[in-house]
Amino acid sequence: MDLTALMEWRNLERHFLEMKDVHIKELFGNDPKRAEKFSMEALGLYVDISKNRITEETKRLLIGLARAMGLEQAIDDMFSGKKINETEGRAVLHTALRNRSHRPVYVDGKDVMPEVDKALKKMADFSAAVRLGEWKGFGGKKIKNIINIGIGGSDLGPAFVCEALKYYSSRNLDICFVSNIDPTHITETLMDKSPEETLFVIASKTFTTQETMTNARTAKEWVLGHFRENKAVASHFVAVSTNEKAVREFGIDPKNMFIFWDWVGGRYSLTSSIGLPIMIAVGQDNFSGLLEGFFKMDCHFHDTPLEKNIPVLLGLIGIWYNNFFRAQSHAILPYDQYLRRFPAYLQQADMESNGKSVNKDGKRVTCQTGPVIWGEAGTNGQHAFYQLIHQGTKLIPADFIGFAKSLNPRGDHHQKLLSNLFAQTEALAFGKSENELKNEGEEERLIPYKSFTGNRPTTTIMAEKLTPVILGELISLYEHKIFTQGVIWNIYSFDQWGVQLGKVLAGLILPELFCEDDKLKHDSSTNSLIEYYKKNK
């Protein structure tokens, strides 16, 4: 199916010609009720899409495209456990992990909910034991440090959420994340810690990932170097994995293994056992709150008509800029320090899912797919890259995220933070014209530099305050936004073959770095880099 040949696509192309020079200022000028019409309140979120370059007609046409691409059926297929990850032959059921209704969800004819509940119970028992100081190190001391060793989907989700929910976390425990194979990462992390008080969570779906297994072996040497008894491993290592055999071979007792399943994709796994460090940090109740939030947004996505469906609408607005305005990137700008790592988390979620150029029919796509995702917590970004968003030559649609209440109120900090958030969206949308500057008596020669064209689109998402429930809703919202876009682009969002080639080549180069023989068979650049290393190591 060629998406760009669809009548719905061509209608959007025509509509784009009418819209491309329309200013957001005009859209607001023509309709005093625009903010009301283009904002939504649901599940404790207030989502304002009015500062986008859209009209009712844009929405209607985009929804037409979504229907033409079978979005409603695709949503049903995902939730019902169809093997929609066809290139890996797997169902995609992260929604079952937070299915608080406990309605059966079937994979290959088997209801997975009892196993999901059992895994959650095991996590809860273990987390409680660690939090209460009942889980002791081999030397009998309480655990003070939890170090999660994992990478990609086995790192970014729990690392992001542990920081996002830090306000709700136990301050008696230090939760760290080691992901990079660079020895600096684990060295710096272990530096100030005692093996007696440290518990490692080795998080790897496959339990074969080079970075994770190398770091895990180094951690094991560190622990055994201290205790000099193999038995110590049982008190200081647990595993989160789908691969029991490899976990056992590493020396971890399978009773200290937390399972998940092949129908949970790495970057969609933080509500599975991969979330163990989160539950240890914030406790079972807060973790349940997080799941509750995910579930609420899952239900909203599944049950709400496309016209009022928040993830669908945000996904469609993204398509509008990406494919018609030809925007190359999308900024995520959380005005909350706790959400500092949201952009990095979403970078993987979005770019690994939708960074594809072959469609479901095995053909090259005929339109742009996933954008570059980037961002930084407000207000830091304002003093760094916002210049380009305001006055650069590129169109960068941005999502602003903020909360009415601060979790750490202090003087007028929060009011200042929010005034900046609101002001940025206002400045980006409405700009400042040369005439306004003239009327203010600005020096003639500076007018071109000081004027702002505006018409730079933003979406603002607000909630009363950052809670585990709201965080779950926000993450699920973006997961489903990404899904929506993948369906429209007709690509497989749940595989990641693009990470393979580099891994294979690294495997070939590794022995060459150790061997003295200098007959290298790569291209001249790669050969020179390897030779440079050998001369200077």
Q: Which residues bind to ligand G6Q, rule: CB under 6 A?
A: 151-154, 204-206, 209, 212, 265-267, 352, 496
Helix (H) or strand (E) holding 374: strand 372-375
Smallest Cα–Cα separation from 266: which of 105, 78, 89, 496? 496
Q: Which is nearer to ligand G6Q, 216 or 401 (CB)?
A: 216
Across 159-213, the runs of DSSP E, i.e. the strands, are: 174-178, 198-203
Q: Is 352 a catalytic residue?
A: yes
Question: Is 15 annotated as catalytic?
Answer: no
Of the residues 86, 102, 503, 531, only one is catalytic, namely: 503
Looking at the DSSP assignment, which residues form a beta bridge with residue 203?
A: 240
Helix spans in 209-267 (H) = 210-227, 232-236, 244-250
| Residue 209 Cβ vs ligand G6Q, minimum distance, rounded to whole Å | 3
Q: How far is the CB of 243 from ligand G6Q (least distance, A)?
A: 8
Closest separation between CB of residue 230 and ligand G6Q, Å? 24
Kindly tell me which of 66 and 203 has the beta carbon lying closer to ligand G6Q. 203
DSSP 235: H
User: Cβ(291)–Cβ(100) under 8 Å?
Assistant: yes
Residue with Cβ nearer ligand G6Q (266 or 486)? 266
Which is nearer to ligand G6Q, 53 or 267 (by Cβ)?
Answer: 267
Q: Give the Cα separation of 272 and 204 in Å (integer).
A: 12
Is the previous residue joined to 467 through a cis bond, with omega within 30 degrees of 0?
no
The candidate with the shortest Cα–Cα distance to 268, out of 60, 493, 70, 50, is 493
Report the residue closest to ligand G6Q, judged by CB. 152
CA 88/CA 93 separation, integer angstroms: 14
Residue closer to ligand G6Q (CB basis): 154 or 458: 154
Give the gyration radius of the chain's Cα atoms. Answer: 25
Catalytic residue of the set 352, 376, 479, 512: 352
Provide CB contacts within 8 A for 197, sequence distance 6+.
137, 141, 142, 143, 144, 145
Q: Select 272 or 484, whichever has its Cβ closest to ligand G6Q.
A: 272
CB of 503 to ligand G6Q, least distance (A): 9
Considering the candidates 383, 519, 521, 537, report the single residue annotated as catalytic.
383
Q: How far is the CB of 3 from ligand G6Q (least distance, A)?
A: 25
SS (H, E, C) 440-496: CCCCHHHHHHHCECCCCCEEEEEECCCCHHHHHHHHHHHHHHHHHHHHHHCCCCCCC
Helices (H), 309-375: 310-319, 342-354
Compute the least distance from the CB of residue 204 to ligand G6Q, in Å.
3
| Residues that are catalytic | 352, 383, 503
